């Protein structure tokens, strides 16, 4: 029973506020799972194709669901949409119906920068199992550098599992490609792609199926781009005029080029492994005086703590701890890695 605020004391009010705070965190998965359901039912695409505000009854009729009990289906879809409207994925215009919110552009399956593959990876049962093993992992943390909650749950490290399981490898590569399309679109459209100006050759280390390298090759046709990846990732992929694929292991050697690019690579690895990778990068490029450089696309922790993106940084740091052996790093932590790997200086460009 709800009590008016003036009928309860400060201590009781604090207890109830604490309960609500804890419940909201306990039930946070409901937001994610409701969004996943909407994607699986293709609700964003259905509303987008409608071309105007869509009444609930029209939405229910358009959904690929069993609608034998129309009253119950209508009620359940309404409740699903209510939480998604509250979370900012849709807009409800009173009696006129539902529209996509600006955020939902990234939830359309044919949108170039669609984040659906990233959602499919993170909300995959395989990925979720790792979080159920987090406390078990803490109880058995060892000196084993490959020890992670993911390995605790699945019996092997994340990248080894992806290598052995073709379906999961495909889900992972699609997720990384979707993020790469978004990042490269932002970089090139907003002038940040100028970091690639003047280069004649570039190696994208851990470049997945080549999304980033292809964007660079298309935008800068004078650059010969190489995707350097594990053989099972690039199996069957073919290059083009200024794009090629090379299989190998970045811990052994990296092909030579004017510049080495690592996007979302080092955050997967421990400090010791990062130093090994960076040293291999340094061996692969000319001196700074001759134009050699290593380009990292990574998070810099502790920037703009008041910004909404700081919560994202905290989430991704935990994700690295659970799935890999790495972490998200502050500028001071990045600087130490660079020095320990033998680099004399660095320059950080913070994304807008």
Burial class (CB in 10 A: 0-12, 13-18, 19+), 149: buried
Rounded CA separation 331/349 (Å): 11
Burial class (CB in 10 A: 0-12, 13-18, 19+), 69: exposed
Count of CB atoms within 10 A of residue 55's CB?
14
DSSP 214-235: HHHHHH-TTSEEEEEE-HHHHT
Burial class (CB in 10 A: 0-12, 13-18, 19+), 169: middle
Rounded CA separation 40/37 (Å): 5
Q: In the annotation, is 132 catalytic?
A: no
- Contact 251/284 with Cβ under 8 angstroms? no
Pick the catalytic residue from 21, 55, 170, 267. 267
- Contact 73/9 with Cβ under 8 angstroms? no
Strand-pair category, 329-330 with 300-301: parallel
Catalytic residue annotation = 267
């Amino acid at each position: 029973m709800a009590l008016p605020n003036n009928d309860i004391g400060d201590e009781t009010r604090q207890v109830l506020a604490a309960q609500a705070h804890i419940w909201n965190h306990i039930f946070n998965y409901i937001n994610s799972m409701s969004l996943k359901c909407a994607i699986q039912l293709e609700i964003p695409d259905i509303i987008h194709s409608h071309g105007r505000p869509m009444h609930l009854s029209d939405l229910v009729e358009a959904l690929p669901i069993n609608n034998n009990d129309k009253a119950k289906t209508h009620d359940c879809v309404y409740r699903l949409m209510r939480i998604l409207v509250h979370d900012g994925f849709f807009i409800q215009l009173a009696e006129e119906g539902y529209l996509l919110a600006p955020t939902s552009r990234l939830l359309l399956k044919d949108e170039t920068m669609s984040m659906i593959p990233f959602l499919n990876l993170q909300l995959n049962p395989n990925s979720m199992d790792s979080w159920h093993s987090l406390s078990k992992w803490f109880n058995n943390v060892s000196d084993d550098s490959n020890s992670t909650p993911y390995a605790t749950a699945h019996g092997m490290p994340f990248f080894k599992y992806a290598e052995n399981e073709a379906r999961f490898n495909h889900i992972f590569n699609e997720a990384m490609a979707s993020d790469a399309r978004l990042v490269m679109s932002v970089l090139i459209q907003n002038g940040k792609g100028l970091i690639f100006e003047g280069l004649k050759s570039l190696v994208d280390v851990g470049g997945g199926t080549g999304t980033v390298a292809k964007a660079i090759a298309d935008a800068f046709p004078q650059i010969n781009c190489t995707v350097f990846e594990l053989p099972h990732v690039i199996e069957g992929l073919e290059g083009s005029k200024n794009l090629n694929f090379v299989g190998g292991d970045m811990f052994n050697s990296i092909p030579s080029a004017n510049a080495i690019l690592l996007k979302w690579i080092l955050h997967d690895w421990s400090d010791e492994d990062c130093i090994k990778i960076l040293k291999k990068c340094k061996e692969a490029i000319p001196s700074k005086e001759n134009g050699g450089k290593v380009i990292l696309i990574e998070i810099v922790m502790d920037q703009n703590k008041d910004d909404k993106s700081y919560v994202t940084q905290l989430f991704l740091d935990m994700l690295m701890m659970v799935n890999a052996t790495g972490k998200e790093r502050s500028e001071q932590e990045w600087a130490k890695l660079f020095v320990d790997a033998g680099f004399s200086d660095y320059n950080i460009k913070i994304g807008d």
